[in-house]
Structure 1
Amino acid sequence: MRQPKVKTFVITGGGTGGHIYPALAIARGLTERYPGCRIEYVGGYHGLETSIVPRAGLPLTKIHCRGLERRISWQAVRALGETAWGLSEALWLLRRRRPDLVIGTGGFVALPVVMAATMLGIPAVIHEQNAYPGITNRLLASRVALVMLTFAEAAKRLKARRTVLTGLPVRTEIMTAERQAGRRFFQLPEKGQVILTVGGSRGAQRLNEAMPVVAQALASLPDAYLVHVTGEPHLASVQAAYRQVGMDESRLRILPYLERMEQALAACDLCIGRAGAAFLAELTVRGLPSILIPYPFAAENHQEANARSLVDAGAARMIVDRELTGETLTPLVLELLREPATLTAMGQAALTLGKPTALTSIIDEIDQLLQKG
């Protein structure tokens, strides 16, 4: 009896964790759906994929790539040259591998790899994490068979053959962590109100400066507790700021970094943080109300577009970074904590946006495409 052909996939996406982690989730889903399949990750020489992908146990091939410039300059010429170099490397690689499918999740490296696939007639799909698509996916959308979306509004900014709203894959631990276990992890009482503040892996300076002012006002709410993930560079200064305002240390948990984010999300009643797509996917699958402060230097200001999608649905409030101070944040935090019904309604709205089956939806779409041949 003839054995079925082993599936081969090339996955590409890089630069930041926002492109890499969804790619790794898709790789995990493919491995579960197609046991024994071969997966090769193609990344750049300088992005975070150089360390993250090998740790995930996937073979990594590196090609040249550089972000495209919008203005005519020597940097723009160099970027075009490196992209062309990367395209030639990708063409050579894909001719040798002949994968069944190429999957791109954005970032500079995805452009030459997915472009090469479409030039060679190899089926290709892309996943767009943000409400405002990046330049790579905008350039590729019309060439690939399918664009999978996290935010529905991204479709109107893409000239795509076909789009489908799948959501963004979220780790199982995020969805299954229990509230009581989260409270025990931080040694917090079960009945108090917990605020989680997180500004990304390196922290958010303006948010770190604002929260001690908020903490001072929390004295009027004796059952309010604060978990603050500062980012490694900011730990000492944030600790000093909390001491200066006299925050009761029994109601405060300060960490430079948190690997067990699922425990913090399970424990909290209100989350304050940036508006990266992966973080918002986690908030929505858990149904958490939030105050979002979009990172102002994100490409195409995509974090503000992400945040507005939650605000428009009633799931979040937003303060733009330039307007964030302790004085602007404090009244909003107190208002929400004093109105449990509002927090509940925001959480329910967030839950309607969540896509807990995002990974299954993505793999189903890929499976249908492969079956069509």
Structure 2
Amino acid sequence: MRVVLTGGGTGGHIYPALAVAGEISRQNPQAAFLYIGSKNGLEANLVPRQGMPFQSVEISGLKRKLSLDNLKTLWKFVQAVGDAKKMLRQFQPDVVIGTGGYVCGPVVYAASRLGIPTMIHEQNVVPGLTNKFLARSATRVAVSFSESLPLFPAGKTVLTGNPRATEVMHGDKAKGRSFLGVAQDKQIVLIFGGSRGARAINEAVLDAVERFASFPNTHFVYVTGEVHFSSIQAALQQKGDIPANLSVLPFVHNMPDVLAATHVLVGRAGASTLAEITALGVPAILIPSPYVTNNHQEKNARGLERAGAAKVILERELSGESLMAELSALLADRQTWEEMRKSSLTLGMPRAAATIVENLLEIAKGK
């Protein structure tokens, strides 16, 4: 089987594509892959690390009002479609899957024009602009939430879940603890602002960090995002003594292992993160990003909150004090933690990647 994957901009688009590739490889070790992304996107760094062939097209996003920039973007789109067609003709894939981000637009559209079966995957409750556009020409549409089903063409849309749910099921708790250097008798709180980090979460953690030492049975793992790492390190040094139960990292590439060892997650409410924690049953304190299209992260997070799987703090309400109030209550109450864990597991879709692969095989065979 020959598969082209495309998706870019943030880890929330890239990691689901890599999770699909991982599941295909588990089922068919002889499968061949090509990833088409943007040369300036995060995927240009993450994908080659996986040993996967990577090629790029040049593309940017449309602005939501008429402008000269939009005309330039449309011209780039036309050029990117032409470039993508050349790559696709050369690679000769059986199927193309796009997992979101601007780069999916020209690649999936080019594939559909060449008659290659295509699938798009929508991670969030509210579809992005690119997937709305591609839904008309894609062979099949996969969604992560049942609430998204009415927002796409009924005849070709299926509920699969997010493939990151499957990927984290292969995580190794012992390897996660070993990587972090945390003993078995310590519970782990993972603070993670997404692949690029989150300034508001970083500021709240800096405000709260002195209080971490009052939880001797807990180890805090604070992932700043590479762009924020140096400034956070400098700010911590200015504060003086860094708690011994705190690890500060710029990025985590073995997230399935780390999540397998995690007791509580503090982080954004991106769709991939929610798929991961519900597959594993990790209680969470979610701080949705207010800077995303259609406020989709809050909508994602509220679903977990209603189910009893997470607590939500809006960014405008976030501070060191509000964060520690929620975190302290959760760490102190084992019964509440257990109830949240069970609620989280009821939302998980650990077979998501396998379901997506089943659909890919079907459309590749023309079903």
How many residues end up aligned between the 2 structures?
367
- 5+ residue gaps, structure 2, are none
User: Which one of the candidate residues 64, 70, 75 is aligned to 1:76?
Assistant: 70
Show the counterpart of 1:304: 298
**TM-score under structure 2 normalisation?**
0.87
- 5+ residue gaps, structure 1, are 1-6
2:338 is the counterpart of 1:344: yes
Q: Is 77-86 or 181-190 further displaced after alignment?
A: 181-190
2:194 is the counterpart of 1:200: yes
For the residue of structure 1 that corresponds to 2:169, the secondary structure is: helix
Q: Is 29-38 or 68-77 further displaced after alignment?
A: 29-38
Change (3 A) 1:363 1:227: same
Matches within 5 A, 1:174-253: 174-177=168-171, 179=173, 182-183=176-177, 185-217=179-211, 221-235=215-229, 238=232, 249-253=243-247
2:255 is the counterpart of 1:291: no
- Greater relative CO (CA pairs within 8 A, separation 6+): 2
Report the residue type matching 1:300 in the other structure. Answer: N
2:288 and 2:212 map into 1 onto residues whose CA distance is 24
2:177 and 2:79 map into 1 onto residues whose CA distance is 52
Post-superposition offset of 1:74: 0.5
Change (3 A) 1:49 1:205: closer
Report the residue type matching 1:279 in the other structure. Answer: T
User: Which one of the candidate residues 47, 52, 55 is aligned to 1:61?
Assistant: 55
User: Which one of the candidate residues 336, 360, 363 is aligned to 2:357?
Assistant: 363
2:162 is the counterpart of 1:168: yes
Q: Which has the larger radius of gyration?
A: 1
1:71 and 1:235 map into 2 onto residues whose CA distance is 35
Change (3 A) 1:223 1:296: same
2:264 and 2:362 map into 1 onto residues whose CA distance is 39
Post-superposition offset of 1:246: 7.9
- Retained in 1: the 8 A contact 2:11–2:195? no
Q: Is 228-237 or 18-27 further displaced after alignment?
A: 228-237
The CA deviation string for residues 177-206 of structure 1, in whole angstroms up to 9 with x for no partner, is 455664455454544443221223443222
- Retained in 1: the 8 A contact 2:197–2:224? yes
2:105 is the counterpart of 1:111: yes
User: Which one of the candidate residues 259, 262, 265 is aligned to 1:265?
Assistant: 259
Report the residue type matching 1:106 in the other structure. Answer: G
- Retained in 1: the 8 A contact 2:97–2:108? yes
Report the residue type matching 2:117 in the other structure. Answer: P
User: Which one of the candidate residues 38, 58, 74 is aligned to 1:44?
Assistant: 38
Report the residue type matching 1:322 in the other structure. Answer: R
Report the residue type matching 1:272 in the other structure. Answer: V
For the residue of structure 1 that corresponds to 2:244, the secondary structure is: helix
Post-superposition offset of 1:166: 1.6
Show the counterpart of 1:14: 8
Change (3 A) 1:352 1:211: same
Report the residue type matching 1:48 in the other structure. Answer: L
- Retained in 2: the 8 A contact 1:213–1:245? no
Report the residue type matching 1:280 in the other structure. Answer: L
- Retained in 2: the 8 A contact 1:14–1:110? yes
Change (3 A) 1:117 1:184: closer
The CA deviation string for residues 102-123 of structure 1, in whole angstroms up to 9 with x for no partner, is 2211211211222223333332
Report the residue type matching 1:20 in the other structure. Answer: I
Q: Between the two proteins, what is the percent identity of the paired residues?
A: 43
User: Which one of the candidate residues 122, 127, 140 is aligned to 1:128?
Assistant: 122
For the residue of structure 2 that corresponds to 1:297, the secondary structure is: coil
User: What's the RMSD between the two structures over aligned residues?
Assistant: 2.9
Q: Is 242-251 or 64-73 further displaced after alignment?
A: 242-251
